[in-house]
Amino acid sequence: MSDDLTARVQRLEDIESARGMFHIYAQILDEPDADAVAALFTNDGVLTVPFGTFTGRGEIRQFFADAFAADTSLKRHFIVNPRVVDVTNRTVTLASYLLYVGRGDDASIIGWGQYVDRIDVSGPEPRFASKTIDIHHATDLVTGWARG
């Protein structure tokens, strides 16, 4: 195989490996486990949300532990329309939309937004080097999104 073809195949394999992280991540969020989410990040991974930045597996684990404890609703997460932004040095940057639906004791909920993920695919397992979560809207179905 030529060097050019080998590099192109490696790039495609890296992209597919990175895309596979979406399913793993959504599945863990649907069965909330802060330790399992933190393990998806590199040791020095960075999580950015609208109200802060969390660096390293310890801070990321604590963020998700607090989030899961504060929101006990049953949720399902859907990650759609992933787009390759960049592939450099075995790190794949993907942008995607997210949608979640759920139910609590007294409400049905819906929300959506966007992820931007940098995924390191150089090791035996892909890991998030960084994840940015931007929730565009979250509401319950009584309030609805037209008024929320």
Q: What are the backbone angles phi and psi of residue 58, rounded to the nearest 5°?
A: -65, -50
Inform me whether the pLDDT recorded for 143 exceeds 90: no
What does the pLDDT look like over 36-80, one tens digit per residue? 999 999 999 999 999 999 999 999 999 999 999 988 788 999 999
- Strand-pairing partners, residue 135, are 113
pLDDT band at 86 (very low <50, low <70, confident <90, very high): very high
What does the pLDDT read at residue 3? 78
pLDDT band at 146 (very low <50, low <70, confident <90, very high): confident
Q: What's the gap between Cα 6 and its chain centre?
A: 29
What does the pLDDT look like over 11-32, one tens digit per residue? 999 999 999 999 999 999 999 9
> Domain total for the chain?
1
Q: In residues, how long is the chain?
A: 148
Report the chain's mean pLDDT, rounded to a whole number. Answer: 93
In sequence order, what are the residues at sequence separation of 6 or more whose Cβ sits closer than 8 angstroms to the Cβ of residue 97?
A: 79, 80, 81, 112, 113, 114, 115
The percentage of the chain sitting over the pLDDT mark of 70, rounded to a whole number, equals 98
The domain of 32 spans 3-147
Model pTM score:
0.91
Which alpha helices (H) appear in the chain, and where do they start and end? 3-30, 34-39, 56-70, 144-147
pLDDT band at 147 (very low <50, low <70, confident <90, very high): low
CATH number assigned to the domain comprising residue 43: 3.10.450.50
pLDDT band at 106 (very low <50, low <70, confident <90, very high): confident
Q: What's the gap between Cα 88 and its chain centre?
A: 20
Assigned token pair, 76: 């399902």
In sequence order, what are the residues at sequence separation of 6 or more whose Cβ sits closer than 8 angstroms to the Cβ of residue 28?
A: 36, 37, 40
